[in-house]
Each structure stands twice: as C-alpha cells, then as structure tokens.
Amino acid sequence: MTGTSEKVAVVTGGSRGIGRAVALLLAERGYAVCLSYVSDAGAAEAVVSAIEAKGGRAVAVRSDVGVETDVLALFEAADRLGPVTALVNNAGVVDVACRVADVTAARLQRMMTTNVVGSFLCAREAVRRMSTKHGGKGGAIVNLSSVAARLGGPGQYVDYAASKGAIDTFTVGLAREVAAEGIRVNAVSPGIIDTEIHASGGQPDRVARMGPDQPMGRAGTAEEVAAPIVWLLSDEAAYTTAANIDIAGGR
C-alpha cells in the first residue's frame, strides 16, 4: 500500500496481547499502524495481515525499545505512513518471581531499560513529531502502567512494580510539560489480564489461579484494556491529560 494517512499510531509491543488488541482496534478506527516487535515476526506479520485484510494500513518493525537506534528506525518507518499522531507505550517485560534480596543487576538493567528507558525514548520521538513547538499538529500518548505500581509486587517482582511506578510519574510529568503544545499524555493500569506475559514471568497458570479471586470474579481481556486506550487517544478525551485509568476489575 502507498500514500500517507492523516492518523498514524505507533504501538510498541504490538504483535501480541494488549498491544495486538490495541493495533487492531486503532486500525478499525481509521489509524495507520506502525507496530514494533522483538522476536516473533510471524505474530507481528499476522497483525499486519489482519489489518490489511480489512482495508487498513500497517507495518511491523523489529525494534527493541531499549535500544536507541531501534527506536529511531521504528519512528522512521512510522513517518513513511504519515504524520505520527498517537503513541502507545505498550512494550514491557516481567521476570520470574524474585525477592529483592536475590535480585541481580542484570535483571534490573533489563527491566528498567525496556520498561522505563524504552518508554522515554519512544515518547521523546513522538513529542518531537507531535509538538506544536516543533512544528507538529499535536497528538496523544498512552503509557502502559500496572496496578503493581501501587501494590508493590512483594515477594514476586518489586522491580517490575517499581518500573511501573516510574511510568506513573513519567506520565504526569510529561503530560504537564507538553500540555500547551497540543499533546495529551495519559496512562492505563491493567490488573490481571489474560495475556502471555504471565507465562514469560514463569507463571503460566496465574490467570486461572488469580482470576476468580478478583472483585469481578474473573481476569480481564486484552480487548477490555485496548478500548480505554483507544478512547484516551481519541478526540472524546480531548480534555483528559495526566490521567491514569485502572483497568483491574476493582482490584
């Protein structure tokens, strides 16, 4: 497909889980989508194919958001679709259960580089394109936080929780920094959501185990997280910035 689109969204970690659901819904709402992935090219191309099958425009780019050159390449690919107007900072990692007394520097480096540094780098590139101060026409950013930021993750992943606490602070600070430049910045904080991230953290049964204990009696779905994200990017949320929406079934 050729040409450019008026609405272009960058979705990091867009090949699976919440990122995939966001990419598909944004395409339904008329966005051209540039999604990043790290290793599963097949899953990423499947998302692109699903979007194109419905007449949409999408591209998948192998990009580790913790690597600056990869982030630059991601946004250069997005530029070819048209002016970037939306960013969803979804890419993130978790790890196996670990107490702080046993945590390694390598684990901390990986966690903070992907979850925090990656979000900063992607937001930097988005702001450079969207900000009216830089000649842009405005836009919106949604960061993926987690209810772990307020629960702390004791005995499991305090490091992951801390990385999401950083995202909460980052969201408020950036939102206020660019509010007068046509850019809105918000966050969502999912709870127990039925995605593959639990398996990557060594707990493939976590949803089945914890879902029934949630106030609503079940885990959430990726689509139930995607809908509020896409709303926050839309004109319906035109006066919403520095907000953080819990999507956790009351947890």
Q: Give which of 173, 217, 198 is closest to 96, Cα–Cα.
A: 198
Residue 203 CA to residue 200 CA, distance in Å, equals 7
Q: Give which of 166, 130, 131 is closest to 146, Cα–Cα.
A: 166
Q: Give which of 62, 10, 15 is closest to 32, Cα–Cα.
A: 10
- The residues near 35 (Cβ < 8 Å, ≥ 6 apart) are 10, 11, 12, 13, 14, 15, 19, 23, 44, 47, 48, 58, 59, 60, 61
Judge contact between 81 and 59, C-beta under 8 A: yes
Q: Judge whether 239 counts as a catalytic residue.
A: no
Q: Which residue has the tokens 């490091």?
A: 159
Q: Would you state the structure tokens that stand for residue 77, as one six-digit string?
A: 């690919």
| Residue tagged active-site, from 31, 37, 157, 160 | 160
- The residues near 120 (Cβ < 8 Å, ≥ 6 apart) are 170
Q: Which residues are catalytic?
A: 160
